[in-house]
A and B are shown apart, each in its own frame.
Chain A
Amino acid sequence: MSHVENVVLCRESQVSTLQSLFGERHHFSFPSIFIYGHTASGKTYVTQTLLKTLELPHVFVNCVECFTLKLLLEQILNRLNYLSSSEDGCSTQITCDTFNDFVRLFKQVTKAKSLKDQTVYIVLDKAEYLRDMEANILPGFLRLQELTDRNVTVIFLSEIIWEKFRPNTGCFEPFVLYFPDYSIGNLQKILSHDHPPEYSADFYAAYINILLGVFYTVCRDLKELRHLAVLNFPKYCEPVVKGEAGERDTRKLWRNIEPHLKKAMQTVYLREISSSQWEKLQKDDTDPEQLEGLSAYTHVELPYYSKFILIAAYLASYNPSRTDKRFFLKHHGKIKKTNFLKKHEKTSNHLLGPKLFPLDRLLAILYSIVDSRVAPTANIFSQDGEL
C-alpha cells in the first residue's frame, strides 16, 4: 500500500478507512457509501487510484456526462460487460431504458465468471445531479445490493452534504464519509510536489509560500492554486534567469512577483482573460494596464441621446415615482414627508437593486433632463431598443 501513499499525498487515513471497508474481495461491504468534501479535496482521485491499484472490478461514471437515465444505465452495463468478457474482446452493446431492466440485466452480467464472488463497485461522480433525474434513481442505487441480491457496492462522490439528498419518505441510509479539506501545510506539501526539475525544491517551496500568502485567504481550491502556480512561475524565475538575483534573494524575488500576483487575482483568477493571454503578457512584458479583459467589453462608447436615455433609466429605476413631480417639474408644490418614507429609510434603494418602470416614465424623464428640445422621433425609439 506504500505505492498508493506515494501517489496520493496527505490522505492516509481516508485511504486506510476505505481499504478496511472494502475488505477482502469476496466479502460484503456497505451497500452504499457517500463521500463528500470540498472541490479538489481528492475524492475522485483517491477512489480511482485505490480501486485501480487494488484491481477491484469497478465502473466509474460521471453524472454530468450521463445526464439522462438511459445514458447512465447503459454506460454502467456496457462497462461491466467489457470487464467480464475481456477475453473475447468484442461484445454487443446493451440497451436499457428503465431501472427495472437495469436490475434484470445487471443480474445477468454479474453472473459471469470473472465477476462472480467479488464485490463490484459502481462509482457515481458528481452525484448531486442524480437528484434532478427521476425520483426512483437515487433510492434505487442506494439499495442496489438488496434489489439485485448481488455483491455490489455503490459509491457516491459529491460536494453537497448528504442531508440535502435525502428524499421525503426516507431511504436506505448510506455510510457517510468526509474528506477533510487540506490544511495550509498539506497544500504546501502537495503544491511543492510538482516542482520543475530545473530548480531546487527549496526555491519552489519559497515560491509556493508567497503564492499561498496572497491567495490563501481567498481560495483554498487545490486545482485553482495549481493552475495559478504553473502560470506565474516563469515570471517568478525571471530575475534568476536574467541574472539579476540569485535563488536566495527572497526580497528581490518578492518585490518582482507581488504586483504580478495581485494583478493575477483580478484577471486570471476571475477568468477575465484566458491563461494563454496571461502567458503572452508575461513574455512580452507589456504594461498590464493595457490588458483587455472580458469586462472591458462592457464599456462601450454610446451616442449622445443613448447616454441620456441611460441616465433617465437609472433615475427612473432608483427614484420612487412619487418624487418625479418634485425633481423634474419647474414649478412643484411641497411634498409631504409621510410615514411611508420614514419606514423605508433603513434599506437604501441602491442596495435593493433597480426596480421596474414603465416606458412612458422613462421618456418623460428623458424629455425633462435633456436641455435642448428632443423630438420624439424614430431615432430615439430605436436607440431604446439597442440599449
Chain B
Amino acid sequence: MSSRKSKSNNLIHTEYLSQNERDRPRVAERRQRETADPRQNVQRILRERFCHQSSHSNLFGVQVQYKHLIELLKRTAIHGESNSVLIIGPRGSGKTMLINHALKELMEVEDVSENVLQVHLNGLLQINDKIALKEITRQLNLENVVGDKVFGSFAENLSFILEALKKGDRTSSCPVIFILDEFDLFAHHRNQTLLYNLFDISQSAQTPIAVIGLTCRLDILELLEKRVKSRFSHRQMHLMNSFGFPQYLKIFKEQLSLPTEFPDKLFAEKWNENVQCLSEDKSVQEVLQKHFNISKSLRSLHMLLMLALSRVTTSHPFITAADLMEANQLCSMDSKANIVHGLSVLEICLIIAMKHLNDIYEEEPFNFQMVYNEFQKFVQRKAHSVYNFEKPVVMKAFEHLQQLELIRPVERTSVNAQREYQLMKLLLDNTQIMNALQKYPNCPTDVRQWATSSLSWL
C-alpha cells in the first residue's frame, strides 16, 4: 500500500479525449485509473474536513458572534485599543473554529499581518504559570530566547515580559493577541498570576493587547478571583448550537458535498447528486433525527459521516443509506451491555445474586460473603446446569468483576479489612441486567428463570 501520487485529472481527460480507436484496451485501463483517483481525492478532502477541522468550513448560526469578534480584533490590531473577551460554549460548538476563522480574515488585511503578534496558549499544555511564561517568551521571540530554550527564572521572565509589554503605548508598539484555550484551566493556577497580569495590561494604557479566552464552562466567572474579575471587561460571547433540525439537515448536505474547485467535475456532480438523494431519503432523516436528539454538536455529526465515508471504496463508490445506518449503530452501542455479554456463566450468576440482594436490602452495599450465600441458595436448591463451585473459584470470578469495574468498593481498600467482607456496590441497574441477559448467548434456562423470579419460591 504505497502512497499513490494522485495524477492531475485534467491531464488524463485530455489524453482520453485525443485517443484514437486502435487503443481501446488502453482507454479502458486509463478510464479505470481515472475513476480511481477522484475517489482518493474525495477521501482526502472529506477526511480532512471531518477529522482535521480544516478552516474551509462555513459558519453555521454564529454569524453575529463572528462579526463582533472580527470587529473587536480589528479595533485592537488597527486602532490600538486593548480588549478582553470570553467565548463560552459546550464542547464541539465551534469556538476554536470561530477564532481561527477570525484570525485568518484579520491576517488578510494589509497593514495588520506585519504588525500584529499572536500568542496561542492552551490550558492543557501550560499547566502552571512558569511554563506559560516560557511559552509566551518563546512565541514572542523575545531576547532571552535562543533557539528553543528560554533562560531565566520565573520572576525574571515575568518582569521581562511585563517590561516589554508596558514600555509600549498605542502609537509605537505592536498589538499582541493572546488566545487562551481551555481558559478554565488557567483559573486553577496559583494566585491566577498570569490572568491577573494579562488583564491588568489590557486595562491600563500600555501595549494594546487583546485577550481572548475560550472555555466550555458556563460558570467561568465564578472561578476568577475578585481582583482578576474586576480587571476583566465582562464581555462574553455564547455559542449555543442554536440551530434546528431543518438547518441540521442543510449542514449535513453541505458537509458531505464536494467543493466547486474539485478537479473532476463529472464525478463531483454525481457525488453531489447522490448526497442530495440521501438527504431526502426517509431512513437517513430518521438516523439524523436520532443523532440530533442526542447531541447537536457538529463533532458528533462529523464522526458519523467519517464512519460512513470509510466504507467508500472502488467497488462501492457512493455513500448509501445503509452505510449511514450502520455507522449510527456503531456510534450508539451500549458499552456496559457489551461487557456483560462477554462474562462467563459463573460471573452472570454472581451478578444476578447481587441484583437480588439489591432488591431485598434496597441498594445497601453488600460483601462477597453475602453474594456467595445467595449463590449457594440458588445452586443447592434449583440449579441443575451450574456446578457448585468452590469458594476460591467464585472469589476469582468476583475479583474479575471488580477488575472490570462493574462493582466498586464503597470506601478505599484498607489493609485491615478482609477481602471477603469488604462492602461493595453494583454499578449496573436492573434494566441493564435484564436486557443483557436477553442477549446473553447460551444462557442456561434455570439461570434465566432465577433472574426473573423473586426469591418467594424459596
Residues of chain A having any CB pair with chain B under 8 Å: 17, 20-21, 23-31, 36-38, 41, 54-55, 98-100, 103-104, 117-118, 134, 136, 139-140, 143, 145-147, 151, 159-164, 169-173, 175-178, 180-181, 183-184, 216-220, 265-266, 269-270, 272, 295, 347, 350-354
Asked if residues A351 and B396 are in contact (CB atoms below 8 Å), the reply is no
Asked if B335 and A170 make an inter-chain contact with CB atoms under 8 angstroms apart, the answer reads no
| B124–A351 touching, CB < 8 Å | no
Contact A161 B336 (CB under 8 A): yes
Contact A38 B342 (CB under 8 A): yes
Is A139 within 8 A of B124, CB to CB? yes
- A253 shortest CB reach to chain B, Å: 21
CA–CA, A158 and B458, complex, Å: 41
Within the complex, which residue of B4, B43, B333, B420 is in contact with A178, where a contact is CB–CB below 8 Å? B333
Minimal Cβ-Cβ distance residue in B for A29: B51
Contacts of B1-34 to chain A: CB distance below 8 A: 1-4
A sample of 5 inter-chain contacts (CB < 8 A) reads A143-B124, A160-B404, A170-B216, A350-B369, A351-B373
Least distance between B429 CB and chain A CB atoms (Å): 14
Partner among A163, A350, A352 whose Cβ is within 8 Å of the Cβ of B335: A163
Question: From residue B56, how far is it (CB to closest CB) to chain A in Å?
Answer: 14
CB distance from B346 to the nearest CB of A (A): 5
Chain A interface: which of B64-72, B205-213, B235-243, B306-314?
A: B306-314
Establish whether residues B127 and A351, one from each chain, have CB atoms under 8 Å apart when the complex forms: no
A218, B122: Cβ atoms closer than 8 Å: no
Bound state CA distance, A269 and B390, in angstroms? 12
Known A31-B51, A146-B53; contact A176-B396, beta-carbon cutoff 8 A: no
In chain B between 93 and 136, which residues have their CB closer than 8 angstroms to a CB of chain A?
96, 122-127, 131, 135
A41 neighbours in B (Cβ, 8 Å):
342
What are the residues of chain A within 8 A of B217 when measuring CB–CB? 169
Note all chain B residues with C-beta closer than 8 A to A181: 341-342
For chain A, what secondary structure do more than half of its interface residues adopt (helix, strand, loop), or is it mixed?
loop
Q: In the bound complex, what is the Cα–Cα distance between A305 and B405 (angstroms)?
A: 44
Q: How far is the CA of A151 from the CA of B54 in the complex (A)?
A: 12
- Chain A residues, Cβ within 8 Å of B216: 169-170
Say if the beta carbon of B299 comes within 8 Å of chain A: yes
B48 at the interface (CB under 8 A from A): yes
* CB atoms of B392 and A266 under 8 A apart: yes
| Closest partner residue, chain A, to B300 (CB atom) | A173
B421→A354 contact, CB < 8 A: yes
Which residue from chain A places its CB closest to the CB of B307 in the assembled complex? A175
Q: Is the CB of A38 within 8 A of B339?
A: yes
Residues of B within 8 A of A176 (CB): 333, 335
Chain A residues whose CB sits within 8 angstroms of the CB of B392 once the complex forms: 266, 270, 272, 295
Interface check B449, CB cutoff 8 A: no
| A31, A54, A161, A351: the one within 8 Å of B1 (CB) | A54
Q: Which of B123, B303, B344, B345 has the most CB of A within 10 A?
A: B344
Contact between B3 and A26, CB atoms less than 8 A apart: yes
B47 near A172 with CB under 8 A, answer no
A118 partner residues in chain B, CB cutoff 8 A: 3
Q: Is B403 an interface residue (CB 8 A)?
A: yes
The reply to whether B342 and A37 form a contact with Cβ atoms under 8 Å apart is yes
Q: Is B81 an interface residue (CB 8 A)?
A: no
Q: Do the beta carbons of A184 and B442 come within 8 Å of each other? A: yes
Please pick, from B1, B131, B299, B341, the residue contacting A98 in the complex, using a CB distance under 8 A: B131
